[in-house]
Amino acid sequence: MNIILNVLNTVLGYLFSITGDYGISIILLTLIVRTILLPMSLKQRKSIHHQQVLSKKMEELRIKYKHNKDKLQREMEKYYKQNTKNMFGCLVTLLQLPVISSLFIVFNKMPAQIGTVIVPWIVNMKMPDNYFIIPIIYTLVSLSPNFISYIPFLKIVKEVQVQKINLVVTSIISMLITFKAPITIGIYLITTGVFSLFEEVIYRLYMKNRCLN
């Protein structure tokens, strides 16, 4: 963990020497790290997609063989094996956690008591946003992936509609996370949220193109 922290601190310092702005440096470092972790993240998304497809097929089997339990059990066992393999792909998230948590620590412990052109209405990046603009932006970014499935062109599998309670919970959690968080953390969270959104859109376009070919 210390090695990761030292590397991230060094890169952040180098980016600051080029940009002269810690806000911009945070965004650039976040994008660099997320790009490096992109192969792992895409593998995770692929595993989740396969699980959704398998779940749909298993539900169809339950309907098709509802009067033939023996046949249903044999067919379901095949899908259970595939589902187990896909679940291992989701474990790549654990490999990302040390890097992501280190990035969080680096931004939270920044010594700079200065502002940034990214958030011109504040003078100290170590303080929370008293105008609550950062929390509102982060909440909107956090909610945006929930509405992707409503765009017909981006649908890759029949998906469960987003429930209102999930939107409410996401909104509350997002606000609580950034309500008293330093601007540094807010910029990091917004950047990684926007990156994840574009990553999801690109992945869906890739999967749709793959299905058409």
CB 154 within 8 A of CB 148: yes
Task: Give the pLDDT confidence of 167-177 residue by residue, as tens digits.
Answer: 788 888 889 88
Number of domains within the chain: 1
C-alpha span between 14 and 20 (Å, rounded) = 10
Residue 86: pLDDT band (50, 70, 90) is: low
| Inter-residue contact 117 to 24 (CB < 8 Å) | yes
Q: Kindly tell me if the per-residue pLDDT of 91 is higher than 60.
A: no
Return the number of other C-beta atoms located less than 10 Å from residue 125's C-beta. 24
pLDDT at position 29 is 94
State residue 134's pLDDT score: 94
43-73 pLDDT per residue, tens: 777 777 677 677 777 777 777 777 777 777 7
- 146 closest CA partner among 158, 132, 130, 164: 164
Instruction: Indicate the pLDDT class of residue 85, thresholds 50, 70 and 90.
Output: low
Note down the domain range covering 142: 2-212
